[in-house]
Amino acid sequence: MRLSDPSAKIYIAGHRGMVGSAVGAALKKAGYTNLIGRTSSELDLRDQAATRAFMAEERPDVVVVAAAKVGGILANDTYPADFLYDNLAIEMNLIEAAHRVGVDRLLFLGSTCIYPKHAPQPMKEEHLLTGELEPTNEWYAIAKISGHKLCEAYHRQHGDDMITLMPTNLYGPDDNFDLETSHVLPALIRKFHEAPDADDMVTLWGTGTPRREFLHSRDLADAVRFVLETPESQLRDVAPDGMLNIGVGEDISINELADVIRDVVSSEADIKHDTSKPDGTPRKLLDVSRMSELGWNASIGLREGIRDVYDWYLDHEKDIVRV
């Protein structure tokens, strides 16, 4: 089956999450009509037997692995075993089951935390495994590295068409705004929204000097669609290791990010820094030349994207669990 065939059966693992829902919307917009998904209550992807049975019954043409246990620095530090085990189990079961049923293509979504803490900037795909990881998220990083390497191994040993996309820091509608487990951008949106006045205070972890790159989930979803429709030979010409960075090629300091969010939210709160908390990796900027060479670039600007997410937050605030 041609991967761009609108009738291709595409299983989106994690279809209700921020990334999975964006991928589903992008594929529907592009004309794909046979998308399937299962909630975690319907299918526990950590269960190998259940995952094998599901894949054998449905026999999808394409699998998009957007299911993962995710969180920020605090969550990674608090639940290292969960982040490592759950993600390893999900990846192993899906990739192995996809091989068993002979899917036409599997797209595995990783994370830029896989790169060494002090990787050269911007980070190229070949910088993988060239240095020590950032300790605050090494558990998640090790799992994602393993997922990519498993895809690479199945391609090398069996010729399976398995491609890894490594997106930079993501944000978008359906993001996690729980202050205990969220990433920095949605956390700051919520913090500034709940601190609108000049006598309010918003606390930033660390010094605020680390630089980060942020990609809207709709841009990632469009990249997934683009890669899905690109022939494997063309992908391998550019990425012989089957790995593609997905980003915008620009970064911003956490202090600068806070200023942009404060402005978008129309908050007058002051900012203070809790320097007892870790900064994490000093800088994480992606080299996106491989995707650019293939013909894809991100299109949503950061301020535009933050405004989009804040509008979504306002529409769904009553449904967001408060802690």
Please tell me whether 122 is known to bind a ligand.
no
CA 83-84-88 angle, to 5 degrees, is: 115
DSSP assignment letter at 224: H
Is 140 catalytic? The answer is yes
Q: Is 93 annotated as a binding residue?
A: no
Tokens of 300: 């949503």
Strand runs labelled E in the chain: 10-13, 35-36, 62-65, 105-109, 162-167, 169-171, 201-205, 211-212, 214-216, 243-246, 252-253, 270-274, 283-284
Q: Is 133 annotated as a binding residue?
A: no
Those residues whose C-beta lies under 8 Å from the C-beta of residue 19, and which sit 6 or more positions away, are 66, 109, 170, 172, 217, 220, 221
DSSP code for 166: E
- For residue 230, say whether it is annotated as part of any ligand binding site: no
Tell me: is residue 305 an annotated ligand-binding position: no
Chain-centroid distance, C-alpha 234? 24
Annotation-wise, does 257 bind a ligand?
no
Report whether 169 belongs to an annotated binding site: yes
For residue 312, say whether it is annotated as part of any ligand binding site: no
Kindly tell me the burial class for residue 252, based on how many C-beta atoms sit within 10 Å of its own C-beta (0-12, 13-18, 19 or more): middle
Count CA atoms closer than 13 A to 45's CA, side-chain side. 29
Task: Show the CA angle centred on residue 165, arms to residues 171 and 243, nearest 5°.
Answer: 150
Ligand-binding annotation for 144, yes or no, is yes
Asked if residue 227 belongs to a known ligand binding site, the reply is no
Is 46 assigned to a binding site? Answer: no
Would the annotation count 109 as a binding residue? yes
Any known ligand binding at 301?
no
Q: Which two tokens stand for residue 251?
A: 């970064």
Catalytic residue, candidates 115, 140, 154, 310: 140
- Does the annotation list 168 as a binding residue? yes
CB distance 36 to 10 below 8 Å: yes
* Sequence ranges of the binding site: 14-20, 109-112, 144, 167-170, 183, 191, 205, 212, 279
* Sequence ranges of the binding site for NADP(+): 14-20, 109-112, 144, 167-170, 183
* Sequence ranges of the binding site for substrate: 191, 205, 212, 279
Provide the annotated active-site residues. Answer: 140
